[in-house]
Amino acid sequence: MIKDVYKKSIVWNAIAGIINAGEAVVILAVVSRVNDLRDAGIMALAFSVANLLMTVGKFGVRNYQVAHDGEDFSFRTFLILRIVTVVLMVLVALGYVIYHYCGSIYTRDKAIAIFIVCLWYATEAFEDVFAGKYQAMGRLDVGCKIFSFRWICTIATFVVIDLIYRNIVLASVAACVVGLLVGVALLKYAYYVSDNMWESKRDKGVKELFNESTALCVSSFLYFYMTNIPKYSIDSFLGDETQAIYGYISMPVFVISLLTSFIYQPQLTQYIVEWRERKIKLFAKRIVRQMVIIFLLTVICMIGAYLLGIPVLSALYKENLSMYKIHLLILLLGGGFLAMGGYLSNMLIIMDQQKNNMIGYIIVSVTGYFIINKMVKKFQLLGAVWGYTLTILFSVIVFGGIFVWVLWKNEGNRRA
């Protein structure tokens, strides 16, 4: 029975990961055909802003919840905090678009589209607290099923409405309503089929959970900010059309991280157990093995991109991208670095190094801001590509250094 659940978790985690990676891909592919390059640029930016603000909604708590739910905090405490952070996310999103609209930076339609896409991700942020509970109970597959079906309905609704009306605002609103209704229905069903949702050995309370997870939220926010600095820089200096091109060629960047998560996400509880029991050697071997896998995946993806990347992307988005081959390869190299840095960052959370993790992201984000903005001003799109890859490489160096230092400090306490 346990093996069957584990297999289901692997399969559904893979399905959810593919859908997660394909959300923007499918929608941008449709918008680039049905609408125009400007609308595609708006939607590319909308996904970027929404993913960034979703870190406020999720508050970086997911992996922490898996490790501590039922032990130090009850699910009720995680749920209350999530309600507060999702409301905060929506208010920040509203303030963001109002500021840009009133300042004549965004048009009305651009502001509305970005806000509505943020609401898509606010739904996901709320749903995620339930998914974290299911994973802590050994049922990762339940949360992945809810995520997958909700996003399939959201994407399908957007595509149908945009094909009929050729209007990204109307399509976004319709998709938001459908996604919310489907998400609520699925959560209601999942609640009734789950057991022991509210039990806990002890509960430190919402205030303590907030204090414990603030560093996680900051780290998560800066992770998405770091990966999207080129988009914000392009929005400031180059415009929506260039934003669309960057959005097209940067789509494959997260493939390596996605493939990596397929392997280590179902093993997350094993990482946690090994670290808690101070089985340092086993823990380190598992991480070295994963880093080698990431390196091999990066090489394979870059070869595939060299041979087929541009023709596939050009056909997908109905745009001639032949002059951007070198841009794609540089971004994929950055994608490999992103998978390595993100993986090491997650390991630091398991090792209870939230504050050091946050410090690492602050260092990388501040450095990346200056590097990327300077390179975009001077070299335009190529500057964005190189700036991104150099910034992410720097993140691997920073998190790798912190990881080795923490491992060295704990070497004397190892049991295996």
* pLDDT tens per residue across span 212-229: 888 888 888 898 899 999
Q: How much is the average pLDDT of 294-306? A: 92
- DSSP structure class, residue 307: I
Residue at 415 is within a domain: no
> Would you state the pLDDT for residue 192?
54
The residue type found at 372 is: I
Do 152 and 247 fall within a single domain? no
Do 34 and 158 fall within a single domain? yes
DSSP 39-68: HHHHHHHHHHHHHHHHHHHHTT-HHHHHHH
Q: What is the pTM of this model?
A: 0.82
| Residue 37 confidence (pLDDT) above 70 | yes
Locus of tokens 């992103």: 338
In the listed set 204, 237, 269, which residue is the last one of a domain according to the structure? 204
Residue at 398 is within a domain: yes
> Would you state the pLDDT for residue 154?
97
Residue at 416 is within a domain: no
Best CA proximity match to 157, nearest among 187, 116, 108, 190: 116
> Would you state the pLDDT for residue 3?
63
| Residue 145 confidence (pLDDT) above 90 | yes
Distance set, CA 356 to CA 58, 83, 145, 361 (Å) = 20, 27, 34, 9
Do 73 and 192 fall within a single domain? yes
Q: How much is the average pLDDT of 156-175? A: 97
Residue at 116 is within a domain: yes
In the listed set 156, 183, 204, which residue is the last one of a domain according to the structure? 204
Greater pLDDT, 200 or 134? 134
Q: CB atoms < 10 A from the CB of 45, how many?
A: 25
Q: How much is the average pLDDT of 179-184? A: 94
Q: Predicted confidence band at 162 (pLDDT cuts at 50, 70, 90)?
A: very high
Q: Predicted confidence band at 168 (pLDDT cuts at 50, 70, 90)?
A: very high
Do 119 and 238 fall within a single domain? no
| Residue 25 confidence (pLDDT) above 70 | yes
Q: Can you give the residue range of the structural domain that contains 240?
A: 215-409
Q: CA-CA distance, 35 to 251, in Å (whole number)?
A: 19
Q: Do 249 and 327 contact (CB within 8 A), yes or no?
A: yes
Do 191 and 104 fall within a single domain? yes
Do 40 and 175 fall within a single domain? yes
Do 319 and 282 fall within a single domain? yes
> Would you state the pLDDT for residue 234?
93
Do 65 and 140 fall within a single domain? yes
- DSSP structure class, residue 415: -
Angle at 327 between CA 323 and CA 329, to 5 degrees: 115
Residue at 414 is within a domain: no
Minimum mean pLDDT range among 7-16, 103-112, 171-180, 353-362: 7-16
Residue at 73 is within a domain: yes
Angle at 285 between CA 282 and CA 286, to 5 degrees: 85
Do 179 and 311 fall within a single domain? no
Locus of tokens 């060299």: 306
Q: Do 261 and 62 contact (CB within 8 A), yes or no?
A: no
Residue at 209 is within a domain: no
Do 270 and 156 fall within a single domain? no
In the listed set 150, 181, 204, which residue is the last one of a domain according to the structure? 204
Do 219 and 155 fall within a single domain? no
Domain count, the chain: 2
Do 278 and 183 fall within a single domain? no
